[in-house]
Structure 1
Amino acid sequence: MSEDERDEERDAADAGAGAGARTPADASGLSGLSDRDLAVLDVERRGWPGPGAKERAIREQLEMSPTRYYQLLNALLDDRRALEHDPMTVNRLRRRREAQRARR
């Protein structure tokens, strides 16, 4: 799914939620995830143009090393709150993780 398609889905979901829709800034209260956890999931949800762009964004936007980012991401994949918040992304990453484990 392209980034534009994901944006359209989010816009449609926001429109369907009505005036009481939560913004990403206050979504952490709803899901129980921290703002940092939500930011990590958001980075994984996006498409990246090439190698290095994602790592650069991790350092600049999240102000953490890629190693720490992947540690947090791996923990989030086992967190039911992350699954409830963004099931498509979490399930996609879980499948990728299992495939990597199976190759080892």
Structure 2
Amino acid sequence: MAHKLTRLVPVFAVDDIERLCAFYEKSLGFVQDFRYGEPTYYVGLVKDVVEIHLISTSSPNARQPWGSGYLSLLVDQVDDLYRRLKGFDAEIVVLPDEGITAYAIL
């Protein structure tokens, strides 16, 4: 019998895990599901049915990626979220253009 995949969790290697946790919590409403290490080297964040993990680049378990990646959060009311993120000084690198309701943040 084939395995049933139940979820996919992206793991992002980050330089400042505390700053990124605060960003996801305050700007997007994520909450911490778990935290490992002292100092912290790995955190799980959840929001609704979405889960992401952050690993500190200073952790020996962090793998250096060969390529780059991105995260797409699919939401309703994208314009409201855009205004909210701008209020948190998020750097918006791709703006909605001519009816396209998507943008990218760093």
Q: Same fold (TM over 0.5)?
A: no
Relative to total residues, which structure has the larger strand share, 1 or 2? Answer: 2
Say which one has the larger Rg. 2
Task: Identify the structure with bigger relative contact order (alpha carbons < 8 Å, sequence gap 6+).
Answer: 1
- Structure number with the higher helix fraction is 1
